[in-house]
Amino acid sequence: MATFSGPIIVGCWIVFLGYWLVSAFGQKPTTEQKSFLSTLIYRTPLTLGGLLLWCPKFSGPLNLALTPHTDPARVTGAVVCIFGLWVTIWSRWTLGGNWSSEVAFKRGHELVKTGPYRFARHPIYTGLLLMCLGTAVTVGRYHSWLGFLLLVIGFWIKLKQEEVLMLQHFPETYPAYREQVKALVPFLI
């Protein structure tokens, strides 16, 4: 299994990208979207984090191994990535036409509190971060862990922007939902 951890990780990301491309069709029209600057604020760490996570070759300290290249580490990385893929697809499916790659509000937008949204307010980010964590564990290099950290920062910034938008549009229901359900990690964060 460990020798196949790399292809499993790559396969998870291919499935993710394929599902995202197909499910992007049929979204509700956007009625409100954050500014270009707001988008740039979270897209910058997401882009840099993705590059660091996936770049295969670095020299010097960025290439130092932080996670041992052992079978248990590689299997753990693959399992975490597979679980993250499942969470991400389940969350995206549940969100349906309300989904947007940007921080946006859709026509007829609904506050979804079912499925994985019972456990986390932003389960797509939870799933993506699990996929990134599994990838970082499998790659095991300093650059992959630095990339993971930047991705966490980028998703946290985006999450905070979405929270403001949801509070504006659901002032009666979102505060209670926010009190009951954690943002990313069920019962913790």
How far apart are alpha carbons 65 and 80 in whole angstroms?
Answer: 19
pLDDT tens sequence across 110-129: 999 999 999 999 999 999 99
pLDDT in the model for residue 1: 44
User: Has residue 147 been placed in a domain?
Assistant: yes
Q: What is the pTM of this model?
A: 0.93
Range 109-130 burial, b when 16+ CB lie within 10 A, else e: beebeeebbeebbbbbbbbbbb
Of the listed ranges 55-59, 148-152, 166-170, 178-182, the least confidently predicted one is 55-59
Which residues, at least 6 apart from 116, have a Cβ–Cβ distance to it below 8 Å? 87, 90, 91, 94, 123, 126
User: Has residue 26 been placed in a domain?
Assistant: no
pLDDT in the model for residue 3: 67
Number of domains in the chain: 1
pLDDT in the model for residue 27: 85
User: Has residue 17 been placed in a domain?
Assistant: no
Domain containing 42: what range? 34-99+115-180
pLDDT in the model for residue 2: 55
Average pLDDT of span 55-62: 80
